[in-house]
Amino acid sequence: MKKYIRFIIVVLATSVAMVACDKDWLDPAPENQLVTSDSTFADPANATRFVNACYANLLTWEQSAFSWMGVASITSDNADKGSDPGDLGADKDQMDALTYTPTTISVTEVWKGNFQGISNCNQALANVPKFDIPQDLKNRLMAEAKFLRAYYYFNLARTFGDVPLLDKVVDSDNPADLNKANTRVPVGEVYAFIEQTLNEATAVLPMEYPASELGRATKGAATALLAKVNMYQKKWQQAFDLTNQIINGEVGNYGLVPDYATIWREVGENSIESLFEIQARAGLPIAAVQQFCSPQGIRGGEFSFVGNNGRDTTAFTGWGFNTPSQDLLDSYEPGDLRRKATIMVIGDTLFDNVIIDTAANPRYNYKSYVSKYEESWTGNDDRTNKNVRLLRMGEIYLINAEAANELGNTGKAISSLNEVRYRAGLGDSPASGQDGLRLAIWKERRHELAMEFDRFFDLVRQGRAGEVMRAHGKNFIDGKNEVFPIPQSEIYASGGKLTQNPGY
């Protein structure tokens, strides 16, 4: 048995998968029990567990929580470090000021989290074919792993640029494999690989699943991610065609929910708006994102309640990081319903009748708020029942609008843009001309996707990160800060074979 098989058994023992509407990802098997090679492949259920390990990586601290907030959100003009001045969150002051280095923890953990996800996916793709299960199930499981591997690589490509391209399990005894793991390839090759695997996944994945499999990757999810990947590469015709498939219902039944504010609440989970989200459950066995909500929770808060109704005076609180910036607050048009649905301020009455009387910071991310009164609550602050939305229809309409505008289809661009604006309580866009419409679409993306971990990468792909960041008081250096440093620990581990990004 190869060493990688022994490793994956540990992953299988703690992996979780979806079951029914209570968000049970398959109950994990007993931990720390040795499993022989024969029993691994003799049990058909283990094929699914290999793929469940690909999903389970989404729940980790490194992948979806504090470090990702630092890299993808606190760096941008939409968010501040927050918290108390003396509480740096290890390095969130560096992320806010763009002074991070190759030894900064958040950067290192984002690298490790995504490559761990890729490793899990490669393990699944190598081992699922060995099981004696129906071929259609085998094909579907492999398509799910390909979708998730593409997602992890998309994060790496837009964060670090050139990265090692690992399309199979790395054999530590094989010098060629080790060389591949320590060699960065041009980001264009990475994007080509992402596109290839997403096309393969889209051809196989179903449009929907039974309730017992709720949350698995669908044809719609793969199509949405492929559209986003094409947008990042300015492949406008592909992005336009793919988003039209989604909007027209060719890959599943999707649409905008009427009330924007409900998208991030428990009632909005797995709605018609959602193409893919991380499933979370805080009960036992725990299968929730590790500390997604608590780092962003209200810090030092005191609360009261409308009508009180005998309630105690507590609400969900946390560390107060990743707070919406004043600049973001001031940027909304009058009457834009998304502002109140995105940003909590002192004095606000929240949807569960909690009133924020005082707090350490003036603003907080409403999209990460968990109600102890109107939502299921198990008392676990570190792992809540909060699903994390990764791909949704609001963005699909805006990708469609941007692609249409770049292709010169002004009418379609305005139509898709206005679909998003109407839900936000706004009228028709006043923008005209291709340049004016482009700026209007970019502004709409800022507000539609605020605090959803896209703003920094949007500014970079739009070619205006330096201009916007410096106007916001951040020392963005052109030619350097478009990508993050390669972790120094990875360069050391490679024996110096991994190269560093310019400026670091």
Q: What is the pLDDT of residues 78-127, one digit of tens each?
A: 999 999 999 999 999 999 999 999 999 999 999 999 999 999 999 999 99
- Alpha helix (H) ranges present in 371-481? 393-406, 410-423, 433-448, 455-461, 465-471
pLDDT of residue 15: 44
pLDDT of residue 35: 43
* 8 Å CB contact between 350 and 389: no
Residue 31: band (very low, low, confident or very high) from pLDDT cuts 50, 70, 90: very low
How is residue 146 written in tokens? Answer: 């390909």
All residues at 6 or more sequence positions from 473 whose CB lies less than 8 Å from its CB, including other chains: none
**pLDDT above 60 for 179:** yes
pLDDT of residue 307: 82
Which amino acid appears at position 488 of this protein? Q
Residue 29: band (very low, low, confident or very high) from pLDDT cuts 50, 70, 90: very low
**pLDDT above 60 for 339:** yes
**Alpha-carbon span 417 to 251, nearest angstrom:** 21
Write out the H or E segment, with its range, that includes residue 82: strand 79-82
pLDDT mean over 149-175: 97
How is residue 327 written in tokens? Answer: 């600049």
What is the separation of C-alpha 131 from the centre of its chain, rounded to a whole number of angstroms? 31
Write out the H or E segment, with its range, that includes residue 355: strand 354-358
How is residue 191 written in tokens? Answer: 């994007």
Task: Assign 358 to helix, strand or coil.
Answer: strand
For residue range 184-204, list pLDDT tens digits in order: 999 999 999 999 999 999 999
For residue range 302-313, list pLDDT tens digits in order: 999 998 776 677
**88, burial (CB in 10 Å: exposed 0-12, middle 13-18, buried 19+):** middle
- Indicate the average pLDDT of the chain: 92
Write out the H or E segment, with its range, that includes residue 96: helix 92-97
Burial per residue of 254-289, b for 16 or more beta-carbon CB atoms within 10 angstroms, e otherwise? bebbeebbbbbbbebbbbebbbbbbbbbbeeebbbb
**pLDDT above 80 for 273:** yes
Length of the chain: 504
How is residue 464 written in tokens? Answer: 């205006």
Higher-scoring residue by pLDDT: 290, 395: 395
**Alpha-carbon span 30 to 13, nearest angstrom:** 6
How is residue 181 written in tokens? Answer: 């793991």
- Name the pTM for this structure: 0.93
CA-closest candidate to residue 367, choices 398, 394, 402:
394
* 8 Å CB contact between 14 and 31: yes
Q: Mean pLDDT check: name the lowest of 39-43, 275-279, 281-285, 459-463.
A: 281-285
Phi-psi domain of 361 (left: phi exceeds 0; alpha: psi -120 through 50; beta: other): beta
**pLDDT above 50 for 11:** no
For CATH 1.25.40.390, the residue range(s) in the chain are 3-285+484-493
Strands (E), 210-335: 274-278, 302-305, 321-324
**Alpha-carbon span 414 to 402, nearest angstrom:** 9
pLDDT of residue 7: 36
pLDDT of residue 371: 95
pLDDT mean over 367-375: 95
**Alpha-carbon span 32 to 77, nearest angstrom:** 45
Tokens 């993306």, residue located: 445
**Alpha-carbon span 398 to 415, nearest angstrom:** 10
Burial per residue of 229-251, b for 16 or more beta-carbon CB atoms within 10 angstroms, e otherwise? bbbbbebbebbbebbbbbbeeeb
Query: Options 1.25.40.390, 3.40.50.720, 3.40.718.10, 1.10.1740.10; which CATH number does 3-285+484-493 get?
Result: 1.25.40.390
**Alpha-carbon span 450 to 457, nearest angstrom:** 12
Over pLDDT 70: what percentage of the chain? Answer: 92
* 8 Å CB contact between 420 and 407: no
**pLDDT above 90 for 32:** no
Task: Assign 126 to helix, strand or coil.
Answer: helix
